Amino acid sequence: MNSRRNFIKGVGATAGLSLSAASLNLGAAASNKTLKAALFGVRSRGKALAQGIFNCKNIELIYNCDVDDDIIKEHNEWCQKSFGMVPKVEKDFRKILADKEVDVVFIATPEHWHTPMAILAMKAGKHVYVEKPCSHNPHENQLIVAAQKKYKKLVQMGNQQRSAVTSMEGVKVIQQGIIGEAYSGKAWYSNSRDTIGNGKEIAVPASLDWDLWQGPAPREPYRDNIHPYNWHWFTTWGTGEIHNNGTHELDICRWALGVDSPTRVTSTGGRHHYKTDDWQFSDTQVVNYEFDKGQHIRWEGYSCNGLAQFDRGRGALIQGTKGSAMLTRDGSVFYDLKGKVIREESESDKASATATADTVGFDGLTVSHIQNLTNAILNGEKLKSPIDDASKSTMMCHYGNIAQQVGRGIVIDPKTGYIVDDKEAMAYWRREYEPGWEPTV
């Protein structure tokens, strides 16, 4: 297949990035086999995954899948222009799962589909790359981990900064004591999102299979401000900004501090911008996490106020008794207690590939993360973000949303992950499912 050459030739025009097979730190898969991949959900982040797959060794994309014919048509044209070929097309992912030729599936659908689709894929014998967050609710978080253990398939979550060389090295030296005892993490994300308005019920577009789009979610009438992106801000399908973007930096903080489940979580915030539109989550949220050995993590999400912090729209700051460390997708910077830089590493220098994302989120880290999964399947390379660990970062986001919804702090048993003595909070543990669609292990 000539897809890699076509990708490298075309990516500069489509993504504005300069990547080459030689410059990317891909590693070597000790196998002559080429994995056959299917992509579920081909808009936006799906395009980034397609670019990643086409720039990896020992894997090829043989299926594009989406429930919207117009999106598929546009994506196929984009594939032809970018890669010189168009994978097979299927609207119903279940037909792809029945194809024994497929080895691994990539899931970039709306979030209410992530766990149900991943479990069905594992049941069908496929490995899985699932975008963050890996679950729509805590119950699904438990299910996807249990399914991986039962079906023994590899599951990688798409928090691609885990494949950043500078982040891996940064976490290592933090845990070796470069900033002393690390006790605090701060994760943030800023944007200037516009209103989503008040949706009107309209006829379902002829191109869209609305029933399959909803899948496991209880049925609702189609409205004009849901598809293809604003589902993020509706509780039926999305999980809010803390999951949409906070999962990444919260994961880095948890990783650097070496913590798993918090013991107490508080959240403040609300819908401060465009208060009368249909947005159902907080657009401004500050969540504090406490851990059993005294560490703490703070998440600050500003969906509609794009002021950067530390000259960055997103990042993870780790503080310790001897200094601080900033870990981002672009690299790492370490400071002493007075703010003097004592160590600085650029991701582009370390990995020989840009870490800066384009408008669909494609970057060199996505390539490295996909290559890691490919190598893990073929030769046993250790996964950078296996689901049993990655799900812990997703669960942190769930705790933050639940604390915000009940309007008070929640206490967690770190051994079980359950919320302690709070029936109101535990009512958010799982969702209602459309009959016949409830995920089971």
Taken in order 400, 403, 409, 410, is the CA torsion positive or negative? negative
pLDDT score recorded for residue 224: 98
Name residue 297's beta-bridge partners: 185, 289
Residue 328's closest CA among 341, 339, 314?
314
pTM for this structure? 0.92
> Among 393, 410, 418, which residue's Cα sits nearest to residue 254?
393
What does the block give as tokens for 200?
């009107």
Query: If we measure between CA atoms, which residue out of 50, 64, 69, 67 comes closest to residue 3?
Result: 50
Phi, psi of 66 (to 5 degrees): -160, 155
pLDDT of residue 357: 55
Alpha-carbon dihedral of residues 36, 42, 45, 51, nearest 10 degrees?
A: 50
pLDDT at 405 (0 to 100): 98
Residues contacting residue 100 through CB under 8 Å, at least 6 positions apart: 125
Alpha-carbon distances, residue 420 vs 134, 159, 295, 324, 397 (angstroms): 23, 29, 20, 33, 17
Structure tokens at 224: 């004009």
Token couple for 60: 């090829």
Question: Which among 341, 342, 367, 340 has a CA at the least distance from the CA of 353?
Answer: 367
pLDDT of residue 6: 41
Q: How far is CA 292 from the centre of its chain?
A: 27
Q: Note the pLDDT of residue 20.
A: 40
pLDDT at 363: 80
Task: For residue 106, give both structure tokens.
Answer: 């990539």
* Pairwise CA distance, residues 70 & 73, whole Å: 5
Amino acid 1: pLDDT: 43
Distance, in Å, from the CA atom of 24 to the CA atom of 265, rounded to the nearest integer, reads 40
Instruction: List domains and CATH numbers for the chain.
Output: 3-161 (3.40.50.720), 162-202+205-358+387-426 (3.30.360.10)
Distance CA 185, CA 325 (A): 9
**How far, in Å, CA of 306 to CA of 190, rounded?**
5
Residue that is written with structure tokens 């670019």 in the block = 51
Q: What is the pLDDT of residue 14?
A: 38
pLDDT tens digits, one per residue of 337-392: 999 999 999 998 775 444 445 555 568 999 999 999 999 999 999 999 999 999 99
Strand order through the sheet with 127-130: 88-90, 59-65, 35-40, 104-107, 127-130, 155-157
Return per-residue pLDDT of the chain as tens, 441 residues: 444 434 333 343 333 343 443 344 455 555 789 999 999 999 999 999 999 999 999 999 999 999 999 999 999 999 999 999 999 999 999 999 999 999 999 999 999 999 999 999 999 999 999 999 999 999 999 999 999 999 999 999 999 999 999 999 999 999 999 999 999 999 999 999 999 999 999 999 999 999 999 999 999 999 999 999 999 999 999 999 999 999 999 999 999 999 999 999 999 999 999 999 999 999 999 999 999 999 999 999 999 999 999 999 999 999 999 999 999 999 999 999 999 999 999 998 775 444 445 555 568 999 999 999 999 999 999 999 999 999 999 999 999 999 999 999 999 999 999 999 999 999 999 999 999 999 999
Distance (Å, whole) CA 279 – CA 275:
8
Using the Cα atoms of residue 363, residue 364, residue 366 and residue 367 in order, give the sign of their dihedral. Answer: positive
CA trace torsion 38, 113, 297, 258 (10° rounding): -50
- Residue 32 has a pLDDT of 86
SS3 readout for the chain? CCHHHHHHHHHHHHHCCCCCCCCCCCCCCCCCCCEEEEEECCCCHHHHHHHHHHCCCCEEEEEEECCEHHHHHHHHHHHHHHHCCCCEEECCHHHHHCCCCCCEEEECCCHHHHHHHHHHHHHCCCEEEECCCCCCCHHHHHHHHHHHHHHCCCEEECCHHHHCHHHHHHHHHHHHCCCCCEEEEEEEEECECCCCCCCCECCCCCCECHHHHHCCCCCCCCECCCCCCHHHHCCCCCCCHHHHCHHHHHHHHHHHHCCCCCCEEEEEEECCCCCCCCCCCCCEEEEEEECCCCCEEEEEEECECCCCECCECEEEEEEECCEEEEEECCEEEEEECCCCEEEEEEHHHHHCCCCCCCCCCCCHHHHHHHHHHHHHHHHCCCCCCEHHHHHHHHHHHHHHHHHHHHCCCEEECCCCCCECCCHHHHCCCCCCCCCCCCCCC
- CA dist 237 and 219 (Å) reads 11
CA distance 410 to 100: 45
